Amino acid sequence: MRVREETDVDNDDGPVESVRRQRTRERLIDSAYEVFAEYGVHAASVEQISERAGFTRGAFYSNFDSKEELFFALESRENALRLDRLETGLQSITPSLIDAEGNYTDGSLEALILAFLDLQPDDRRWCLVQSEFRMLAMRNAVVAARYLEHQEGAGRQLAAWLDQAAALAHLRFTIPTPDVAHIVVALYESAIQTAVLMDPDGDDGSPRDLAMRTLPAIVNALTESIAR
């Protein structure tokens, strides 16, 4: 039976996990991120992933039961990270809507949308991995539930922020805010995908033109000012 080591860290999932083991897992997940993006989940082999992480398959099977489990671990880690970033990012750009005297700056909702778009690191890798996850979800109800849950979480967060920003600007949306959030997300994702398609090697964040051009216009068109 395993005896607890002093360096062990108990973070509530599973009984106990050594730091060494945690590091190995992290490196495997990092590697999986690259390999999955490059070849796809199905085409990637356990050996490729292990090798790129500097291990053999032995290490892999000592830490994960299957390639799919590793993929889910990758998704969990990245989703949590991005949700965090979204939250802090939205908080950081909201204040720019009102100036020092507490007056809202007219027409700046569009500017906020642009700021929001700039928050998103449009990582080619993330787009690919996310697309893989969506495909998996479209064929498996359990995975779909996971996918939709995260998607809705992000959507709610964005909707809440949109409501707050609109209120500050004395505006209101002419369609339900959650729908606006969905539109923003859908157009943003479509734009990222198109960017990846047009420039498969580009890691620069520039070619999100479509979303940058159209989203502010749409959001603007979908608001009306509140009589106060």
Partner DNA sequence: TGTATCCGATACATGACTGTATTGGATACA
Partner DNA sequence: TGTATCCAATACAGTCATGTATCGGATACA
Q: Closer to DNA by CB, 9 or 81: give it.
A: 9
Of 1, 3, 100, 221, the one binding a copy of itself by CB under 8 A: 221
Distance between CA atoms of residues 112 and 117, nearest Å: 9
Q: Which stretch, 30-38, 62-70, 90-98, 111-119, contacts DNA (CB under 7 A)?
A: 62-70
Contact between 152 and 64 (Cβ < 8 Å): no
Q: Which stretch, 54-62, 114-122, 144-152, 157-165, contacts a copy of itself (CB under 8 A)?
A: 144-152
**Largest pairwise CA distance in the chain:** 71
Nearest to 148 by CA among 79, 70, 74, 215: 79
SS (H, E, C) 98-167: ECCCCCECCCHHHHHHHHHHHHCCCCHHHHHHHHHHHHHHHHCHHHHHHHHHHHHHHHHHHHHHHHHHHH
Of 29, 32, 37, 63, the one binding DNA by CB under 7 A: 63
Question: For 144, left (φ over 0), alpha (ψ -120 to 50), or beta?
Answer: alpha
Site string for DNA, 137-156 (x = CB under 7 A): --------------------
CB of 61 to a copy of itself, least distance (A): 21
Q: Closer to DNA by CB, 72 or 104: give it.
A: 72
Of 147, 159, 161, 162, the one binding a copy of itself by CB under 8 A: 147
* Near DNA in 33-52, by CB under 7 A: 45-48, 50
Q: Closer to a copy of itself by CB, 25 or 124: give it.
A: 124
Q: Closer to DNA by CB, 61 or 190: give it.
A: 61
Residue 20 touches which member of a copy of itself, DNA, none, C-beta under 5-8 Å by kind: DNA
| Signed CA dihedral, 112, 217, 165, 175: sign only | negative
Of 9, 16, 167, 186, the one binding a copy of itself by CB under 8 A: 186
Asked whether position 79 contacts DNA by CB under 7 A, the answer is: no
Q: Residue numbers of the site for a copy of itself (CB under 8 A)? A: 38-40, 42-43, 127-128, 131-132, 134-135, 137-141, 144, 147-148, 174-175, 179, 182-183, 185-187, 189-191, 193-194, 196-198, 200, 210, 213-214, 217-218, 221-222
